[in-house]
Amino acid sequence: MNLLFVADPLESFKIYKDTTFAMMREAQRRGHTIAACEPVDLVWQRGGVVQSQVRRIRLTGAQDAWFVQEVSEVAPLHSFDAIVMRKDPPFDSEFFYATHLLEQAEREGAKVFNKPRALRDHPEKLAILEFPQHIGPTLVTRSAAAIRAFHAEHQDIILKPLDGMGGMGIFRVREDGLNLGGIIETLNRDGAQSVMVQKFLPAIAQGDKRVLVIGGKPVPYCLARIPQGGEVRGNLAAGGKGVAQPLSDADRAIAEHLGPILAARGLLLVGLDVIGDKLTEINVTSPTCFQEISDQTGCDVAALFIDALEQAAR
């Protein structure tokens, strides 16, 4: 297959842990050709099709100069057998616009994974609202009074912005309510910005688990991201320790319920965040943790993904 990865700049990859790199490596191992571009490279003009300046690359196997660029050229997106959208968050206006260009490319014959419309329809914090049976007490609001009432009811709460990533902007407020007013002002901006508030789940001490679902089926191992040094956040970007472990019965039940539903909507790869037995987020933009799980368990997650991509692109 002729594959195009829409991603962040190749020079920014940390290949020892990067999931997109793991996908590329497995694809090349199977004989597929690889090209890459960034969302900024996507172009459409009336009378033409969506195209991009793409870099056709070959992976070298080295740690530093990990790829060589064989050619840079303008190519129509529909000329590729599959396009893998792997731009990291934030899901800002430019990401939103990129999904519209990719959706136009679909109308022209391109096959894009995850589907652009599905990316727009599943904001990573809010997508859990569809599945209330799997989540803990949760509030989404722009009202400071509603946040205070939620805290009065549940006492120990987590507050986070809807557009955060990597644990950014997450606060815990305990029973004493210390700094609740200041945190509300910071996140809520006098009612201008919505906030997600959730009851604190003590099971975070055992890890914020990333459960990967590929082609509607759960990967048999997850990565428990365990907070370190008094942190409330388990995110690896916030210093959490990643420990791979088999799925629990609750992990598997959540993944087997959501997996087929999300796959039918065009979400080939999903990362479910689970604390204890509660779903906290549904990650669809560029779910990670392939290499951490593979390195610790021997389960080749990238191979599972390329299997699913080959099947979906037929």
Q: Specify the residue for token string 């907070």.
A: 227
Catalytic residue selected from 115, 160, 199, 278:
160
Give domain limits for the chain: 2-121, 137-200, 203-312
Contact indicator for 56, 34 with CB cutoff of 8 Å: yes
Active-site residue 125, yes or no? yes
Q: What angle do CA 307, 310, 312 make, to 5 degrees?
A: 105
Is 2 a residue of the active site? no
> Taking the model in full, what pTM does it have?
0.94
Would you place residue 44 in the very low, low, confident or very high pLDDT band (cuts 50, 70, 90)?
Answer: very high
203-312 maps to which CATH number? 3.30.470.20
pLDDT of res. 81: 98
Identical fold between 2-121 and 137-200 = no
In this predicted structure, what is the pLDDT of residue 89? 87
**Average of pLDDT values for 1-6?**
98
Number of H helices, E strands in the chain: 8, 17
94 counts as catalytic: no
Q: Is the pLDDT of residue 233 over 80?
A: no
The pLDDT value recorded for residue 164 is 78
310 is catalytic: no
Q: Which is catalytic among the residues 124, 208, 273, 292? A: 273
The predicted pLDDT at position 238 comes to 65
pLDDT above 70 as % of the chain: 99
Catalytic residue among 125, 199, 209, 278: 125
Predicted local distance difference test score (pLDDT) of residue 224: 97
Look up 142 and say whether it is catalytic: no
- 160 tagged catalytic: yes
Read off the tokens for 258: 């959501």
90 band by pLDDT with thresholds 50, 70 and 90:
confident
Position 230 pLDDT exceeds 90:
no
The residue assigned the tokens 């599945």 is 131
Fold (topology level) of 2-121: Rossmann fold (3.40.50)
Instruction: Supply the CATH classification number for the domain 137-200.
Output: 3.30.1490.20
Please measure the distance between the N-terminal and C-terminal CA atoms of the chain and give it in whole angstroms: 10
pLDDT of 236 above 80: no
Is 14 an annotated catalytic residue? no
Q: Which of 86, 209, 233, 278 does the annotation list as catalytic?
A: 233
Q: Among residues 26, 38, 281, 292, which one is catalytic?
A: 281
For the chain, give the number of residues.
Answer: 314
Active site residue 225: yes
Mean pLDDT of 83-91: 93
Say how many CA atoms lie within 13 Å of 170 toward its Cβ.
19
